[in-house]
Structure 1
Amino acid sequence: MTDEVTRDGLTVGAVADVAGVTVRTLHHWDEIGLARPSGRTPSGYRLYTQSDLDRIDRVLAYRESGLGLDTIRALLDDASPEVGAILREQRAQLAERIGELQRVDERLARMSQAHERGILLTDAEQIATFGNDWDPEQSQTARTLWGRTTQWAQFAERSASRSRADWQRLSDAMRDMQAALANAMDSGVEPGTQEAGELVERHRELFSTFFTLTRHMQVCLARMFEEDPGFASYYNGLTPGLASWFRQIVDEAARAHGIDPDTATWQ
């Protein structure tokens, strides 16, 4: 019976199908006086007339705009003389929400691009920011090697919010860091000393702006700087022997924190 159409109107099941809502919703609307059926069958089932359906259509339209049920009931029952003002206010709220969603969409777009590209600067901007020796393809190489790691995800998500000025500040900080390392080595700073330890910590903190770099991971990174021909060539180009010296000061700092650098893993 609840899914049938009668001569006197539609049953609650039929209205639910037409309106695209649940029977439970129609029962609730009836209980709170929002959209009540005009009739009943001899068995006591609700029956909705065309006028009832018109009211339900209005309820659905107002609800889709984001209005609450109490406000909708007031509008339909003409309890509020400021219908136009209420609707204008709702439009203003919707416009604000649309703006928020657009900003979220833009943020998601940048995050998606950053996961694919790493650094959201043009090739020319990268070279201008990081120097003439910088190869813009390095980001793609890094993604190929580490694109499925937590660290790449952190790097990309932080990259998404960085402007060119942000990258310039980080690039300058990295150059200063590398110059400090080269100067310390040339000045005879020994691994295991306080000065060497402070440089290691400075390096770890700077790298942690890209992704969280633990002391274990820093040992692995220093190992790679020494063993990888490309990294070793770059660091040794700053001052001969820097790649090996840097690994030594990182290893000694790790030992000072109870870490065996020979068994350290990327964790």
Structure 2
Amino acid sequence: MKTVKEMSQISGISVRTLHYYDHIGLLKPSFIGENGYRFYDMDAFERLQEILLFRELEFPLKKIKEILSDPSYDKKEALREQIKWLELKKDHLEKVICHAKSLQENGENMMTFRAYDKTDLEAFQKEAKERWGKTEAYQAFEKSSQADFSVITEEMAAIMKDFAALKELSLSDNKVQKQVETLQTYISEKFYPCDLNVLSGLGQMYVADNRFTTFIDKAAGQGTASFVSSAIAEYVQNR
């Protein structure tokens, strides 16, 4: 058995993220002591490995939980598919890196775009989707993917509108800080584990990247993006 701190050190996953995985039922501790400490056994380590591989393939946490819980899920078959998919991604990235170095060192023709060709990767993704399509979880993932985008856009807009309603309050006000926590939880559930470092980066991006600033201010009113960014900075600083 390993403590949550030891689990974090071995896996490279933050304690906060492990707590969040427990909260959403994605990775429950194997045992909780009378003192409330979480402990993890080898089965938990194996499940975490599966989770991280799916994350590398950009599956949302909610979908990973559904797939791993599906009775028809085959661990060995999934691992074979994941390895093949990751190898294709690696090959693609190596081509892009090689192309970038050629541009830097040799002044290769800027109009050459062969390195960005994802034909092989996309062909395998299609094949993998067909394989995952055998599970109820992936069928649900595939059906909801396009619908999710519009829903997520609306939900993010709603979160930003809630921030806008708090703009007259101090950044340290409990209501403002709770809203930052709501945003952090939402991002973790819908996209990727949002630890403090990721959250801090997002806060900076909300004012540094005009696309995000425009979306937030258009959805919730002028100045909201700046307010959210400052609220996030306050939240991170106090933790």
TM-score band w.r.t. shorter chain? 0.3 to 0.5
TM-score w.r.t. the length of structure 2 is 0.39
**Which is higher, the Rg of structure 1 or of structure 2?**
1
TM-score w.r.t. the length of structure 1 is 0.35
Higher relative contact order (CA 8 A, sep 6+): 2
More helix by share: 2
